[in-house]
Copies of this chain bind each other. A is one copy, B any other.
Amino acid sequence: MDQGVIITVDVALITLQDDGLQVVLLRRDKEPYKGQPALPGGYIHAEVDNDSLAAAKRVLTDKTGLVSPYLEQLYTFSGGARDPRGWSVSIAYYALVNKDVLMSQENAADVAFTLYRVDELPLLPFDHNRIIDFAADRLRNKSTYSALPCYLLPETFTLTELQKTYEKVLGYKLDKSAFRRKINDLDFLQPVDEVRTGVHRPAKLYRIRPTKNLFLFDRTI
């Protein structure tokens, strides 16, 4: 049955750089909007994709080389006005990645990412501005009650680095002792046998507990 509807997935891949949330855009290699920066996306391939999550993973790996970053369904955008090719559905996902992992991937995969601050976007093709706004809002909201910002950090980090990451995502300062108490209560970190050495006194390093559900207040959906 042909309903005359195009079905795609798009992925807003978000990282933290220069003190702000940034989104990865790629130059489109075909029409419509050929040459313009846009979110990585593509058609669902019913013959190979188990579901839309599998499609989003495939598209992200094909277009950026990244495998298994944090990936979550965001919202589904649809209608006759958003794509010049016709009535379309985009099942949108957002993904989080550490900027150093992202940059090393850009070199390894020989692709050219364009990074834009999520709050300083040019006018993008389709409704990609709206998708990115949704993704940034979702990330900021979930960061008020979850460990989501950890996915923007490298594998190991200090508590000070963790707090700064939360502050950059949320856009406001947090009280140090209240933050540490909350992190301690949530119990999603484990210490590693290393310290960060530098100009200051050595700081303990942590990573996310591998078995821990990061959504501690059961708001994963």
Contacts and interface: CB of A to CB of B under 8 A. Distances in A.
- Please tell me how many copies of the chain the complex holds: 2
A interface SS class: loop
B218 A89 contact: no
B52 A76 contact: yes
Contact of A80 (B43, B46, B81, B86): B46
A76 B50 contact: no
Contacts of A79: 49-52
B46 A5 contact: yes
A221 B134 contact: yes
Contacts of A43: 3
Nearest to A79: B51
Contacts of A218: 137, 141
A94 to B, nearest CB: 11
A134 B46 CA distance: 24
Interface in A116-175: 134, 137-138, 141
Contacts of A78: 44, 51-52, 91
Interface of A: 1-7, 43-47, 49-52, 73, 75-76, 78-81, 85-87, 89, 91, 134, 137-138, 141, 218-219, 221
9 contacts: A3-B43, A3-B46, A5-B5, A5-B7, A7-B89, A44-B87, A49-B79, A52-B78, A52-B79
